[in-house]
Amino acid sequence: MTDFLPLFPLKMVVFPGEQLNLHVFEPRYKQLIRECEQNKVTFGIPAYIDDKVMDFGTEIRLKKIEKRYKKGEVDIKTEGIGIFKIKEFFSQAPNKLYAGADIERLKNNPQGDILLYDKILRSVEELFHILNIDKKLPDSSSGFSTYDIGHHVGFSIEQEYEMLSIRAERDRQSYILAHLERLIPIVREMERLRKKAQMNGHFKTVIPPNF
């Protein structure tokens, strides 16, 4: 079964549960947000990668118009509520300025492995420590999902999009862990080289070997 969904393509990936703030200024999207506010409808954000609207996207609920400007621009607060797949894309919806699509809403299997959550959390903590990143992480391995940290593990937009297309939480856990296992040794070595380069030109205490 397909449904029609207004679209707001962006060069980013939005995950379910994500709180996204947007400044809307283009006439077509001002029209879209106005209709979302008046008719209490949702819209979709499909990723726009390599000059192409991708097949998978996230359905978005308008939570609040935070600020209105004299020229009709608005600051909005939104929330991702689910994943969809585009079945037929329309660069301009009938009698509208904005794009739209016939979409299929996809079911998500949210059941993760608590041990994998713990491994992911420890790995992200190590990554942040190496890079000296001060960002709050979940307090326990039972208090988050892969969507909560998808933007914080060093993914490219292509990798974020691939994760978005994965339907089961355990598969997303494995995808993140495999990425971190590849990334952390590279980052650790780059940080070692950076520190070594910073020492060039400094006076060094060097103990020569005894012969």
Q: Is residue 124 part of a domain?
A: yes
Cβ neighbours around 210 below 10 Å, total: 4
Same domain, 89 and 145: no
Read off the pLDDT of residues 95-127 as tens digits, 9 standing for 90 and up.
999 999 999 999 999 999 999 999 999 999 999
At 78 the three-state DSSP class reads: strand
Q: CA 105, CA 146: separation in Å to the nearest integer?
A: 19
CATH number of the domain encompassing residue 22: 2.30.130.40
Same domain, 87 and 159: no
Q: How many domains does the chain have?
A: 2
Same domain, 118 and 94: no
Residues 6+ apart with CB under 8 A from 168: 108, 109, 111
Q: Is residue 81 part of a domain?
A: yes
What's the average model confidence in pLDDT over 121-149?
A: 87
Same domain, 11 and 86: yes
User: Pseudo-torsion of CA 10, 19, 147, 32, nearest 10°?
Assistant: -40
Last residue of some domain: 77, 105, 133? 105
Same domain, 99 and 156: no
Boundaries of domain holding 138: 114-198
- What pLDDT score was predicted for residue 196? 76
Same domain, 52 and 94: yes
Mean residue pLDDT of the chain comes to 91
Same domain, 120 and 167: yes
Q: Is the pLDDT of residue 203 over 80?
A: no
Q: Is residue 32 part of a domain?
A: yes
Last residue of some domain: 47, 78, 105? 105
Residue 181: pLDDT band by 50, 70, 90 thresholds?
very high
**Which of 169, 126, 160 is closest to 13 using CA atoms?**
160
Last residue of some domain: 73, 105, 137? 105
